[in-house]
Amino acid sequence: MKTLNAQYYSSNAKSFYDATVDIDMTALYDEFLPLIKNNGLILDAGCGAGRDSKFFIEHGYEICAFDASKELASLASKLIKQPVQQALFQTFESSIKFDGIWACASLLHVPEDELSNVISKFVSLLKESGVFYCSFKLGREEVIRNGRVFTNVDEVSFGQYITGKPIAIVKQWRTGDLREGRESEQWLNVILRKDVINE
C-alpha cells in the first residue's frame, strides 16, 4: 500500500519536477561544496528532480542518487544521464562510503519516530570526516499538508535526533523558501561532519 507521500509524488511527479528543476540553489551549494574534496563522491539522498546532482556532476563531482518516487527517479535519471535508484531512506543500501551526503528537503519525509535511526544509518555511509547536509521545514511536529507528511524540526529538536551519534554540527541556519510565492516559509539548514566532537 502506498504511503501518502508515495501517492503524491506518483501523481504529481512532472509538476514537481517542473516546479523545482530550475530553482537556483547556489547559496546552499556554496556552503556545502567547499567542504567536499575535488572530484569527491556525493550521495544525493532523495534527489527529486535531479537538479542538485546535475550541478554537482557539472562541477566535477561523482554522484550516486536515489529517490523514493519511481517517476521522479526516472525523470532525474534522464536529466543527469546516469541511473537513479528508486529507494526509501529506510531501504537504501550501499557498499561504498561517501565524501558527502546531500539531503535537501528530503529527510523531512521520514516519519518522526524513524528519523533518528535513519540519520544513524546515513552517518555510517560517510567516510571519516565526511560531510552531511540536510534541510527541513522549520517547526516541531509531524504534519500532513497538501497530501504529504512532513517531519518539521527546529534547532533544538534536530539536536535531539543526533545526540550520541559520531557526528557534529558544523553550521545551522535558517532560510526562506526559494520557490516563488513561498518566501515566507522557513527552512532549517544543517551541515554536519562525521567524527567531530563538540567540546
pLDDT tens per residue, range 67-89: 999 999 999 999 999 999 999 99
pLDDT at residue 4 in the model: 56
Domain boundary assignment for the chain:
4-194
Q: Is the Cα dihedral 53, 66, 131, 168 positive or negative? A: positive
Q: Say how many Å lie between the first and final Cα of the chain, rounded.
A: 46
pTM score of the predicted model? 0.90
Domain 4-194: assigned CATH number: 3.40.50.150
Distance CA 24, CA 7 (A): 27
196: confidence class by pLDDT, cuts 50, 70, 90: low
Local confidence band at 199 (pLDDT 50, 70, 90 cut-offs): very low
Label residue 198 by pLDDT band (50, 70, 90).
Answer: very low
Cα angle: 114, vertex 90, 186; to 5 degrees: 60
State CA 180 to chain mean position distance: 21
What's the pLDDT tens digit per position in 133-189? 999 999 987 877 766 778 999 999 999 999 999 999 999 999 987 656 555 589 999
How many other C-beta atoms lie within 10 A of the C-beta of residue 181?
Answer: 7
Cβ-based burial of 113 (10 A; exposed 0-12, middle 13-18, buried ≥19): exposed
